[in-house]
Amino acid sequence: MDSLVFKIVASPLLIQVASLAGRRWGPAVGGWFVGLPLTSGPIAFFLAVDQGEGFAATTAAGSLAGTAAQAGFCVAYGLAAQRHSWPVSFSAGTGAFVASVILLETVWMLLWALALMAEVALAVALTLTPHLPADRALIIPVPPRWDLPARMLVATVLVLTLTGVAPLLGARLAGMLATFPVFATVLTVFAHRAQGRNAAQRVLRGLLLGLFAYSGFFLVVALAIERIGIIASFAIACVIAGAIQFLTLRIIRGSPASARRQIGCD
């Protein structure tokens, strides 16, 4: 499948599934779900087939580095959301992401150092992101009919825009920019707008937990693809990411489920 076709098909489908999961099990689960490399992973696979294993290994290393930039986005958005509305919070998160990418672009690190940096960044970000308990009084408004189609459209436009502009900026920088948390941004902004800052914080915390599987996936690909080939390395990476994601889901679902009821909204 052509990568452009894949992005057009997968982007709205992914945001639909994540949005419905968030409505069913809470915002944190929606954020956790989009932490998986459900689009970046297949695109990396297509790049490996088209451009070769060495190119894919470099791309995977860039994606691993981009994990720290995503952590920066989550922290900045979360801190801003404590006092400000979603436009200010989104601007703060995006600014932190761009600043992190610029900083990472100037630094060269070995793969093991990139992996360590990514895990430390996620751990620090989790300590700075509020761990909100389940709110038994939480009222989740029934979204208007345009809500889900709007999410799908926004996500698709952002994916196509970012992946279209990124190659003009160079391979390494493009790889890191491609890690911008598009789907998590859509979920966070819509949750912030409709349900308030606590819902946005839950999406961000779920994303941070989901990114452990993301970083594990790309670490395995970067380490193994030139040694054991495309199919085997991606298969192992999927197994590792799945195992990590199962563990982080247990963390998210460990707190008591909130008793929620829905009301209509305009």
Q: How far apart are CA 78 and CA 208, in angstroms?
A: 12
Least confident of 20-34, 69-83, 137-151: 137-151
Ranges of each domain in the chain: 3-264
- At residue 265 the predicted structure's pLDDT band, cuts being 50, 70 and 90, is very low
In this prediction the pTM is 0.75
Q: Residue 171 — very low, low, confident or very high, per pLDDT cuts 50/70/90?
A: low
Alpha-carbon gap, residue 266 to 250, rounded angstroms:
35
- How many residues belong to the chain? 266
**Residues 106-136: pLDDT tens digits?**
877 888 888 899 999 999 998 888 766 554 4
The Cβ-side half-sphere exposure at 21, using a 13 Å CA radius, reads: 19
Of 242 and 51, the structure prediction assigns the larger pLDDT to 242
Give CA 210 to chain center in angstroms: 7
- Which residue blocks in 26-144 are alpha helix, DSSP H? 27-34, 40-51, 53-81, 86-105, 111-128
